[in-house]
Structure 1
Amino acid sequence: MGEVAETNFRSEIALLQYTDARHKDPLSPMVIHIPVSTCPGEGQPHTRIAITPSPASFIDSQIREQQQNQNPNDAWLPITESRNGNAFYATFHILNSNIGFQALLLPVAFSTLGWVWGSICLSMAFVWKLYTIFLLVALHESVPGIRFSRYLFLAMAAFGKRLGKVAAIFPVMYLSGGTCVMLIITGGGTMQLLYKTICQPEACDAHSLTGVEWFLVFTCIAILIAQLPNLNSIAGVSLIGAVTVVTYCTLLWVLSLKKGRPTPLTYTPSHQGHSTMAKTSDILNAIGIIVLSFRGHNVLLEIQGTLPSNHKHTSHEPMRKAVIISYLLIAMCLFPLGIAGFWAYGNKVASTGGLLYAFSEFHRHQVTKFSMVVIYLLIIVHCLTAFQIYAMPVFDNLELRYISIKKQRCPRWIRTCFRLFFGGLTFFISVAFPFLPTLAALLGGFTLVPLTYAYPCFMWIAIKKPPRTGFVWFFNVVLGSLGMVLSALLVAAALRTLVDKGLNANFFNP
């Protein structure tokens, strides 16, 4: 359950005030503080209720009764403010957050690995990620009375307060804020491409905005949409994002097949003839592209936190349905992108920087301006909608700090100020470091790989405590260890590539 705390133990937020987040057996003695008032901070007294060991049935009934009595602080925060979601809303959120622009790089990975190994690596990464997703879904309500609606709090519960923070806080915050920066760079750059596609060359040269100004336009629109109050309220936004991302992924590989292949074309792995060290680095970088094409673990528990739950109908079942539906659609996008994209462009795709650029370069005389405008618009809309999901954990964290100090709900104007501050900060970073996408492999190896492929396995062991001699314990230890080794290898390969090719550090010059 949890150690004795000075706050209501029923909320995961109480983990912030635990000396440690380890859990005792549910039948051990406990002391629970139950607030008489639903609004802490009004000077109302608190009732102290001592529960001593009693029959399991009685304690189980108490646990079930308490499980959904949400701490008032939960109802004040953007992630858990509304728990009226359903499996469809969760599907929209997962689709919108788990597919991204980086999936268009999959043909580049195939150009290094080839048909067979490219398909094998993509399939293994897909199954591995799906397995760890189901682990997180099960861990969301793994401790009676607590819903872990934030990845960081689950890590603290599994590893302890100090180790959990050290292991998870930077990856979680980077994958939220850093992804928003990437979306500004991608969305703002695509806006510029859209403008140049629509207007005449003379007008473009005379009246085009600068790269900084396009970033600012994108950020202003994103922060305007971000005024929606909580994660559940952006379900419609996520529906639009899900439709747009599935559409532009499908359009790109279908049109690439339809327009035919450029000649001459070769499918020989691009690392042929390289030295052993260079070949190893190229292969690891290709695996990194595949691994990093799957994202969204850092917002999965938050999405599940929007679903209702009680002792009869927990959030597990609708979330599993949402994961299954969304990942069937994700598979229908990613596998054709990699396989069909490599078939259409072969090794030529590596020199262009991805499927979108290969399509626009090799078929610019065959594709109508309208088709390119539609594709660019879909990418921009998806970047704007994905920004909302990835920004929500940061908004939640800022407001959590406020209510922890003030002991009251965050006023609307303060919430608006927090979101404007975050928008300004991400805009500044995107302008100061417009080369950040070239560091995606390095930073992703540090953050996304452990968070996605390793930590869920170790958290399952720490919380569920399967027998050490059993298959489940051994399998998760091996899988989690492989995830950490993979993270180290990808970081090493990314560092070697940066040293070998250099970095165009165009500070403040997007």
Structure 2
Amino acid sequence: MVPQGTHDNNDNQISSQVDDETLAKRKAIDDWLPITSSRNAKWWYSAFHNVTAIVGAGALSLPYAMSKLGWGPGIAILVLSWIITLYTLWQMIEMHEMVPGRRFDRYHELGQYALGEKLGLYVVVPQQVVVEVGVCIVSMVTGGKSLKKFHDTVCSSCKDIKLTYFIMIFASVHFFLSQLPNFNFISGVSLAATVMPLSYSAIAWAASLHKGALANVEYGYKAKSTSGIVFNFFSALGDVGFAYAGHTVVLEIQTTIPSTPEKPSKGPMWKGVVGAYIAVALCYFPVALIGYWVFGNTVEDNILISLEKPAWLIAMANLFVVVHVIGSYQIYAMPMFDMLEALFVKKLNFRTSTPLRFIVRNIYVAFTTFVAITFPFFGGLLGFFGGLAFVPTTYILPCMMWLAVKKPQKYSLSWWTNRVCIALGICMRIILAIGGFKSIIVKATDHRFYS
């Protein structure tokens, strides 16, 4: 008869061996997935990635948003959005390592800790997916439109080419770039994409300033009916909401920064975010205010379309936009690649392999290209996605999670601040989704598919 202690020892050894194998397998997967495969980024990587994530095509739509909001409400909303979104970003950076020895590498992991394993997943993931896929689609549309504008500007006598083809040309770059493994590999793309918005924003406001206010410029609301003014106002709030949306990738970016108890990642990450937000202010405020001052309520939903001369400068600005949205697409696509690849290797038990990565990522690029070609409603997409998911993931969820895990004292400044942000976010979400959806319907009535 085998002694009882021998059985226990054997069981413990087997259990320990199984645990070791599970941990080794989990580590191998984490070392392969794009979000957790590298943790040696510097703080300036964070700045590059955050500028690329935050300053999107929305910068060029801000004069158009101002034309729907008016001077007073427009300036107030721009400034308040800058302050509130910087505050909620700080909260997320602080929560990244609030549990000793653990890092919340992904937005949904923080959501699961704060809101519960299942509820956090169901609340965060759908909205994060809408934001990230939405940015990728809008980047496709913007890249295609900017390429077309560049072509039409430098070759005004050339035969007109459909927007569809320019979107396909823009998409072709991403079939190659999407195979780069992780955030650190696209840091060069992010650096180029960081310089671009500073450049094209400067071109946009400097060319507008040189042009001067139009002779018959009007600053009154373009819509004549009360309902039209209200719906335009709602849509414009969506444009602003879109312009400050970088929260869905901030934890994933912070994950790439090394961290120790003595030097946690929140220090360099916050330094990078502050640098990024200074760049955001330099891009957004001059473009919004000068662009609106020059064109009034006749400004297009992309100010570079309103500017036609000097032709070489406008062509250059559109080329800068193309480079920038290439980086923007990659920053928002990387967490989606991580989600999809994790689904295949963790849930469906596929092996980690280059062919799997190649197929998954190319299918994703092809999908976003198809949607962009089918629904190239630039302004309408901004407003709709701004209301549906950008506002909740930027204004609401960080505050809800902060209240859940930090539990600030009742009626304290933090308690009130977070509740006010949540209330504002809920109101914005409702009215933005309505305004953006109406804008899409209006544009769809005049749109010829695949033209």
- TM-score, normalized by length of structure 2? 0.90
Equivalent position of 1:447 in the other structure: 389
* Partner of residue 412 from structure 1, selected from 347, 354, 361: 354
Give the aligned partner of residue 458 of structure 1: 400
**1:215 equivalent among 167, 173, 183:** 167
Which residue number in structure 1 is paired with residue 203 of structure 2? Answer: 251
CA gap 1:243/1:100 in 2 versus in 1, 3 angstroms: same
* Residue of 472, 476, 494 corresponding to 2:436: 494
Partner of 1:509: 450
Q: Which residue of 2 aligns with 1:431?
A: 373
> Displacement, 1:281?
3.0
Structure (1 or 2) with the greater helix fraction: 2
Deviates more, 1:468-477 or 1:403-412: 403-412
Pick which of 435-444 and 329-338 moved more: 435-444
Deviations 1:91-113 (A, max 9, x none): 00011111111221212232233
* 2:135 matches 1:161: no
Deviation at 1:336, TM superposition (A): 0.6
- Contact 1:432/1:507 (<8 A) preserved: no
Bigger RCO of structures 1 and 2 (CA < 8 A, at least 6 apart): 2
Please give the root-mean-square deviation of Cα atoms over the aligned residues, in Å: 2.5
- Given that 1:231 and 1:392 are in contact with CA atoms closer than 8 Å, whether structure 2 keeps it comes out as yes
Q: Matched residue pairs, number?
A: 437
Q: CA deviation at 1:345?
A: 1.5
Letter in 1 for 2:280: I
| Amino acid aligned to 1:326 | A
The separation in 1 between residues aligned to 2:439 and 2:349, in whole angstroms, is 49
Instruction: State the match for 1:182 in structure 2.
Output: 138
The residue number in structure 1 matching 2:338 is: 396
Asked if 1:80 is matched to 2:36, the reply is yes
Matching residue of 1:478: 420
SS of the counterpart of 1:509? Answer: coil
Preserved CA contact (<8 Å) 1:39 1:408: no
Is the 1:223–1:423 contact (alpha carbons within 8 Å) kept by the matching residues of 2?
yes
Whether contact under 8 Å (1:431, 1:507) holds in the other structure is: no
Cα offset, 1:489, TM superposition: 2.1
Identity %: 32
1:357 partner letter: I
Cα gap change, 1:211/1:242 in structure 2, threshold over 3 Å: closer, same or farther? same
How far apart in 2 are the matches of 1:287 and 1:408?
A: 43
Per-residue CA deviations over 1:152-210 (Å, capped at 9, x if unaligned) read: 22112211133222322222112112211111111122222222223352xx22xx654
CA positional deviation for 1:292: 2.4
* 1:96-111 alignment, distance < 5 Å: 96-111=52-67
Aligned residue in 1 for 2:327: 385
Counterpart in the other structure of 1:24: none
Question: What is the deviation of 1:391?
Answer: 0.7
Picking from 49, 62, 79, the partner of 1:93 is: 49
Deviation at 1:280?
3.2
User: Is the contact between residue 238 and residue 382 of structure 2 (CA under 8 Å) also seen in structure 1?
Assistant: no
3-state SS of paired residue (2:307): helix
In the alignment, is residue 241 of structure 1 matched against residue 183 of structure 2? no
Rate the CA distance shift 1:34–1:298 in 2: closer, same or farther, 3 A.
farther
The correspondence for 1:226, drawn from 178, 198, 217, is: 178
User: Where does 1:189-338 land on structure 2 (aligned, <5 Å)?
Assistant: 189-199=145-155, 201=157, 204-205=158-159, 209-270=161-222, 274-275=225-226, 277-338=227-288
| Alpha-carbon distance change, 492 to 405 in structure 1, aligned in 2, over 3 angstroms | closer
Distance 2:27 2:242 in 1: 36
Shift of 1:37: 5.0
Contact preservation (8 Å) 1:449, 1:487 = yes
List runs of 5+ in structure 2 lacking aligned partners: 1-15
TM-score normalized with structure 1 length: 0.80
Q: What is the aligned partner in structure 2 of residue 17 from structure 1?
A: none
Q: Distance in 2 between matches of 1:78 and 1:505?
A: 41
- 1:3 aligns to what? none
1:306-332 per-position Cα deviation (integer Å, ceiling 9, x unaligned): 100011111000011001111011101
Return the alpha-carbon distance in structure 2 between the equivalents of residues 470 and 170 of structure 1: 32
